[in-house]
Amino acid sequence: MKTNIILMFFFYSTIAFSIAQPPQVINYQGITRNAQGFPLLNRNIAIRLSILDSSATGQPVYVESHITITSSSGLFNLSIGSRTIINGTFSAIPWGQGNKWLRVEMDTSGGSNFQLLGVTQFLSVPYALNAANGNKPGVVLGDMQYWNGIEWVRVPAGSHGQSLFFCNGVPTWGGCLPLLITTSFSFPTSILTIGGNISNDGGSSITARGVCWSTSSSPTTTNNKTMEGTGIGTYISSIAVFLMANTTYYVRAYATNSVGTSYGNEISFTTFSSANLPSVTICNQIWATQNLSESTYRNGDPIPRVDDPNLWASLTSGAYCYYNNDSATYAAIYGKLYNWYAVNDPRGLAPIGWHLPSDSEWISMISCLGGSSVAGGKMKETGNSHWSNPNLDATNTSGFTGLPGSFRNYIGNFGGFIGGYSYYWSKTESNATNANEYNLTYQNGIIYFQNDDKKSGYSVRCLRD
């Protein structure tokens, strides 16, 4: 005959700490009575106790079973955490995270045919258990603890006289690493300029700083690096090397103090294939022998292509186009026509390893070739494959191989004609609205100097750094 069980219970907790460190337990006491209210006396019973997470129907985080004998008054005593473990670890129960519930099941014959008696919420977590579970035990005298946002973490004891520092929310013996960020600057030269900003020295002086870079992510000072002195604050480093074309580089600022070296955020960039532009040496200068045709700045940002003449005329920022907006016919031979805002953009129009020539660099080449009255002929491609008749005085003895890509004027119209003229920007501006340019013509061997509206669209030739 099945016995109906009434269970009346209460529980309380004890924690005992001693040299032997006995187990942490919750003492639990209950009285069993049958349906008529009479106690079950001197009865062998089996109890299964489950600690549930979050709700009365939550997942068990710990389960154990007990075999015990009721007293002559129906009373029994248990210690939760001290008997046969079915599931979980008592010491690992996350008492501080959400509510916990106790599920009690009993078999009055002492077997494993358990009958559910009830589920009761722990209205308060035993303090000693919660504290013991949330805190890591010490190992040696002087160990401490800190809360990392999830759990208590042990801080090992320091040495005599050592100072404890608070480093980004973590107590740390002996000092902190510096705090810094990597700052990026882009200039139109092959020297990629990147800097750092050290906001905190970590409690000890900065003994070294700079940037480090590699073709692999997370570069360190064991890779390529610059050295930019000492101290906190902002600094700039120049990566004074010719970087490989079509290659991705990773760069980080670094700072070193007595504790060690820390790194700023990582910046990456990719060099482009046009860093290998065909070139010729003219009087100790290395000039590209084809017009530039980049669609992006050095950092990878796109340069807008603008075909609409009204929009072109309104621009005060970088843009490019093709002659007559016809890339299929003209792009491969003559490259792109850029306004001067693209030439002067701080992100860099020239590929890594090259820069846009200034007036002084143009004049140096022209003087070396005999002056403006004859230099144009020595710079023009010969024949009439691209230049129109008569292409006078063209010898191309310099190897510059000037091509007649014509131009777009400041109101957005395409001037001249393909085959008749070539216009090349200088990096030098003449005033707020105009910049300098040099041009060749099919009519003679002169190279002309002018200053024109920055909105104009001209060809670009690069000079090797």
Strand duo 100-107 + 84-87: pairing: unpaired
Task: Name the pTM for this structure.
Answer: 0.47
Average pLDDT over residues 436-451: 96
Average pLDDT over residues 48-57: 92
Of 261, 264, 263, the residue nearest 206 (C-alpha): 261
The β-bridge partners of 155 are: 144
Task: Give percent of the chain above pLDDT 70.
Answer: 87
Cis peptide bond N-terminal to 94, omega within 30 = no
pLDDT at position 128 is: 52
Helices vs strands, H then E, count in the chain: 6, 31
End-to-end CA distance of the chain: 101
Most confident of 42-46, 106-110, 409-413: 409-413
pLDDT at position 153 is: 85
Burial of 209 from C-beta contacts in 10 A (0-12 / 13-18 / 19+): buried
Residue 249 vs residues 271, 415, 461: alpha-carbon distances, Å: 8, 41, 26
Contact 460, 338 (CB under 8 A): yes
Q: State the angle between helix axes of 359-368 and 372-379 in degrees (0 to 180), rounded to the nearest 10.
A: 90
Q: Amino acid identity, residue 372? A: S
pLDDT at position 151 is: 79
Output the six-digit token pair for 2.
């099945």
**Model confidence band, residue 134 (pLDDT cutoffs 50, 70, 90):** low
Task: Please give the helix or strand (H or E) that residue 452 lies within, else none.
Answer: strand 447-453
The lowest-confidence range among 233-247, 263-277, 303-317, 432-446 is 233-247
Strands (E), 228-271: 233-239, 248-256, 261-263, 267-270
Average pLDDT over residues 155-182: 87
